[in-house]
């Protein structure tokens, strides 16, 4: 009887450890996705600011002939 209780307690403990590990893994993945989104947004804003500073004629020329030929 004691062995059955010990086995049940061990199984419950193992299940709790697995649940906690999965939860932490999910949270870590969500943080990674959020950091990637922030990085992409930061780069997009930098590009938008660079484009906003360029004269329309220069931007048109750059977009039509990026090699400068």
Average pLDDT over residues 3-7: 91
pLDDT digits (tens, 9 = 90+) for 13-69: 999 999 999 999 999 999 999 999 999 999 999 999 998 999 998 888 888 887 765
Q: How far is CA 45 from the centre of its chain?
A: 18
Rounded to whole angstroms, the Cα distance separating 29 from 35 reads 10
Closest to 12 (Cα-Cα) out of 22, 4, 2, 1:
4
Please list, residue by residue across 21-42, b when 16 or more beta carbons sit within 10 angstroms of its beta carbon and e when fewer do.
Answer: eeeeeeeeeeeeeeeeeeeeee
């Amino acid at each position: 009887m004691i062995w059955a209780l010990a086995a049940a307690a061990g199984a419950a403990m193992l299940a709790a450890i697995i649940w906690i590990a999965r939860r932490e893994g999910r949270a870590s993945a969500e943080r990674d996705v959020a950091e990637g989104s922030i990085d992409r947004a930061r780069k997009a804003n930098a590009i938008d600011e660079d484009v906003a500073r360029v004269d329309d004629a220069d931007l048109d020329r750059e977009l039509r002939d990026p090699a400068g030929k």
